[in-house]
Chain A
Amino acid sequence: MDEDTTTSNMLRRMSSRTRKVATKMVAALASSDNRTQAALARLEALENDNPGAEMIEINSDDDASLDDEDQVYTKKQSKSTKRKTRQAKALENAKKAPRTFLELLHEANLESLPPHLPSYLRAAVGPPSSTTRRHFCTVCGFTAKYTCVRCGMRFCAIRCQNIHNDTRCLKFVA
């Protein structure tokens, strides 16, 4: 690897760590029930292959990724076909992007099976018998008693609340 490539790789690395915004979080916080939406988006993101890739760069002119943010795959496709028209891109993506498991599951219509048959749906463990949920401070990880009214994140004490307000609150959004 020559020196230029090395430097540019380093720069890309640095910039990709700082100039990003989570589209899902933006969408979630703009909606009426911010906190629930944000929580759902967060759980969904835990199963993503490239959670970072669903973030878009702030100055990005490539808005194709906004069309279908669930498909990480789409974004990569759109990158490699930058010169094609939007329409051609959309067509290609529709053809190439595989459907997610949840879409296929929906199609399989397991709800219509007789209830005694074992299935993916019936095998789910179900809710816990105790509904108590422990909360951990998003600043320090300690047991958290308080919730930020703006973003729903948890913190444990005034010290962490201040850090949260100063540097963390809506960090992935603003």
Chain B
Amino acid sequence: MSSNNVVVLDNGAGLIKAGIGGNLDPTAILPNCLARPLSSKKFLHLSDLNATAAFDLTSAAVRRPLDRGYLINPDLQREIWSNLFSNVLKINPSHSSLLLVEPLFNLPSLQRAADELVFEEFGFESLFVADSPSLVHLYEASRSRPSNGVSEQASLVVDCGFSFTHAAPVFQNFTVNYAVKRLDLGGKALTNYLKELVSYRAVNVMDETFIMDDVKEKLCFVSLDVARDLQVARKPGRDNYFRCTYVLPDGVTHTKGFVKDPDEANRCLTSKDGAPKDDMEYPEVTEKAEDRKRVDLTKNEFSLTNERFLVPEMIFRPADLGMNQAGLAECIVRAVNSCHVYLHPVLYESIILTGGSSLFPRFAERLERELRPLVPDDYQVKITTQEDPILGVWRGGSLLASSPDFETMCVTKAEYEELGSARCRRRFFH
């Protein structure tokens, strides 16, 4: 049964995506952390995304096994995996192979620790270590059709994740690692930046990791014209179509935060370029008005205007934050320029956008607008967005795990025991 039981594990710093190779989607998507709600003395497992609804995670502390994208705390990761394998996936590692997705440029000491975890602690039968850009390329190339411009030969995978953002050229299914460029900004920093802005301007939310992730995911978007949008965000009343209100949980009537008036919040997203049409009507719903009254009494809410686009803006201009790093468009150009000139046009017309932080509305459009002037006129720029940017890596892994020669690519437990981590690792990279 070994050959048909491959556990595919995209062990993200933010989310774990895990399931069985060959399936279309992972069995489980869960936060890669333990959380301690205010009502608990212990750190608890969050066995799936819905479990976050089971607890009141207001002001919950979190412990993550990954720091800046890398697995630095194997003890904590073991606890989380152990729960994942036995209670969520319900698999027996000693009868399974593991396809583990590892960040690019992992340190040898961390690779060794990961191998120990896989073979010595869990006793997997065999292991294959993959990097995310090659899996994303594999998945998109396999779906290649006229409407999807992804070249089977090469693509440029832009992975905007939790800890960082990579622009990685992939050529014939291998990540061209000498050309990869990394920007040290991802979803975690953006959430923390949003916390900082709201805490400074309205109410202290520095402890509210889960709530502010929700605010970011529901309300932030990428501006196509920052100067114009800043002017609009200054206007009073309804003319400021960015203004919206988020209600914090009060721990009594609701344990989750929510957007007070979603219609109001979505006004700025209804038109093509970010300015809503004048003739739109916004009917007031009585039920909502009552909600609002009840909520106002708690004073436990804050409104957002320009924060909604100033937060994702940092991916495009890290310098505004005081970081000495180029923005995403330049990051892509530098990655392409590090490849053979023959590949440049192929890469520019086969850019694949993936990762949870690429989900902000208008992300791809803004990127294209910034990229176009930096690319030679006779090259096309084509950005492909994934059907589900959070699952793209996992789906590529699932595809690879179900290919006929997958087992031969793996390192077995016996080989690991005989050769050790470092020599086994050489097999995974070229």
The bracket for how many chain B residues form the interface is: 35 or more
Q: Does B266 contact A (CB under 8 A)?
A: no
CB distance from B114 to the nearest CB of A (A): 13
Q: Does B206 contact A (CB under 8 A)?
A: yes
Q: Does B24 contact A (CB under 8 A)?
A: no
Identify which of residues 181-232 in chain B touch chain A, using a CB-to-CB cut-off of 8 Å.
181-184, 188-189, 192-193, 195-197, 200-201, 203-209, 226-227, 230
Q: Does A43 contact B (CB under 8 A)?
A: yes
Give the 8 A-B CB pairs with smallest separation, nearest first: A52-B206, A52-B207, A141-B306, A17-B204, A120-B105, A98-B73, A46-B189, A128-B326
How many residues of chain A get a CB closer than 8 Å to chain B's CBs? Answer: 65
CB distance from B374 to the nearest CB of A (A): 9
Identify which of residues 36-81 in chain A touch chain B, using a CB-to-CB cut-off of 8 Å.
39, 42-43, 45-53, 55, 72-73, 76, 80
| Cβ-defined contact, A127 with B310, below 8 A | no
CB distance from B414 to the nearest CB of A (A): 29
What separation, in Å, do the CA atoms of A95 and B186 have in the docked complex?
Answer: 30
Partner of A123, one of B180, B207, B320: B180
| Residues of the B chain whose Cβ atoms lie less than 8 Å from the Cβ of A119 | 105
What separation, in Å, do the CA atoms of A108 and B64 have in the docked complex?
Answer: 22
CB distance from B10 to the nearest CB of A (A): 19
Contact with A along B307-323 (1 / 0, CB 8 A): 10010000001111111
| Cβ-defined contact, A141 with B38, below 8 A | no
Given contacts A101-B67, A143-B230, contact A127 B39 (CB under 8 A): no
Q: Which A residue's beta carbon lies closest to that of B37?
A: A9
* 25 examples of A-B residue contacts, CB within 8 angstroms: A5-B39, A9-B58, A13-B38, A18-B204, A20-B204, A42-B322, A46-B193, A47-B188, A48-B192, A49-B62, A50-B61, A52-B208, A53-B61, A76-B36, A76-B61, A98-B73, A116-B178, A120-B107, A126-B181, A128-B318, A128-B325, A132-B319, A133-B319, A136-B306, A140-B234
| Cβ-defined contact, B201 with A139, below 8 A | yes
Given contacts A6-B252, A46-B192, A50-B62, contact A138 B306 (CB under 8 A): no
Q: Which B residue's beta carbon lies closest to that of A12?
A: B38
Q: Please choose the segment from B81-89, B327-335, B385-393 that sits at the chain A interface, where 4 or more of its residues have CB less than 8 A away.
A: B327-335
| Cβ-defined contact, A125 with B109, below 8 A | no
| Cβ-defined contact, A142 with B330, below 8 A | no
Q: Which B residue's beta carbon lies closest to that of A128?
A: B326
